[in-house]
Copies of this chain bind each other. A is one copy, B any other.
Amino acid sequence: MPKARSGSTLSDVAREAKVSVSTASRALNGLAEKYRISSSTAQLVRDKAEKLGFRPSQVARSLRLKRTGLLGIVVPDLSNPFFSSIAQSVTVSAESDGFSAILADSGGSVEKEQKLIEQLTARSVEALVVCPVGLKFAHLESTREQGTPLVLVDRCKDKSSMVQVTSDHTTGTQQAMQLLIGNGHRKIGVLQGIAGTLPSDQRLLGVKEALAKVGVNLDPALVEGNQFTYESGYQSARNLLMNHPEITAFFAMSTPNAFGAYQAAMELGRRVPEDLSLVCFDDVKFANFMQVPLATVAQDVPELGRLAASLVAEQIRSGKAPVQKMHKVPVTLLTRASVGKVSPS
């Protein structure tokens, strides 16, 4: 029995089966009956292909068909569970639609993001799912205009004709704020993510609206922070608690922000939830394991990815962008022990 070569090509199979390459191609692509190939030859071809360990070259096929079956994903930080979870659901959905995903990590840099997108289009990805760094969108709009279906996830752009998927930040934040307000809190510090990005801005909007409903104006001095990181949360919370000891609660825009705030509170002798309540807009699953379980606005992260994947798949199939551009995925408020009634002053 001849050793199965790894590099056997279609013409090898054809020669071995003593047919032309077209016949071989047809037989192997399930077009046997369409072309009324005798079942004996069809079977022969399949046998020979099997024997030679024939694997059609996707590269050649891509060149010929102008379809690569490749999807590009760009995220700012794959070590962040929020983004890796999105990457996972996009990857898995794409897989089930017959696509493979090329993954790229922009490291939070717009320049790198742009460079990666260029590389990916040069590789003829059929569509892109991008969690943008979120501050500039020109390169994204232009690649879409050049014909590559492109869906934005998470950091969207407010009034834009691009197809976008994100959580319902404003509503989720309002729910969280209502929880605080319902427990008597009015002096609420806000630990902000990256100002200027839609998630951060919409959440801030939610804060304002929720306060407005009970006749309170958000004091800008109670808003601090500029990253979704632990450090940003820690520093901001520390500053706020020292400069505004009247604060009775924090709304944190990310789990790391909240972890940082918790640490700062501990160090300043404020107990959670007795002396300080804490809610966060969530991006990871571990909030449950904090010293005090952390009340959370939970995003449906897998759904963000799934929806994005199905939107690009649809665009590839139909050749045109869907009518609905902005997709808001619902969030869920998880009431947990980190929120308490405001303590009598």
Chain A residues with CB under 8 Å of chain B are 6, 53, 55-60, 62-63, 68, 70, 73, 77-79, 81, 84-85, 87-88, 91-92, 95, 100-105, 107, 116, 118-124, 146-147, 259, 262, 284, 286, 289-292, 302
Q: When the two chains form their complex, are residues B103 and A87 in contact, meaning their CB atoms are under 8 A apart?
A: yes
Q: When the two chains form their complex, are residues A100 and B102 in contact, meaning their CB atoms are under 8 A apart?
A: yes
Q: List 28 A-B contacts (CB under 8 A).
A: A6-B146, A55-B121, A58-B124, A59-B59, A59-B63, A59-B68, A59-B123, A59-B124, A70-B102, A73-B103, A78-B84, A78-B88, A78-B91, A79-B81, A81-B84, A84-B84, A84-B87, A84-B88, A87-B103, A91-B103, A100-B102, A100-B120, A101-B103, A103-B103, A284-B286, A286-B289, A290-B291, A291-B291
Given contacts A58-B122, A78-B85, A100-B104, 6 further A-B contacts (CB under 8 A): A56-B122, A59-B123, A91-B105, A100-B120, A102-B103, A291-B292
Q: Which of A78, A91, A101 has the most CB of B within 10 A?
A: A78
Q: Which of A55, A123, A291 has the most CB of B within 10 A?
A: A123
Query: Which B residues are CB-close (under 8 A) to A291?
Result: 289-292
Query: Which B residues are CB-close (under 8 A) to A92?
Result: 105, 107
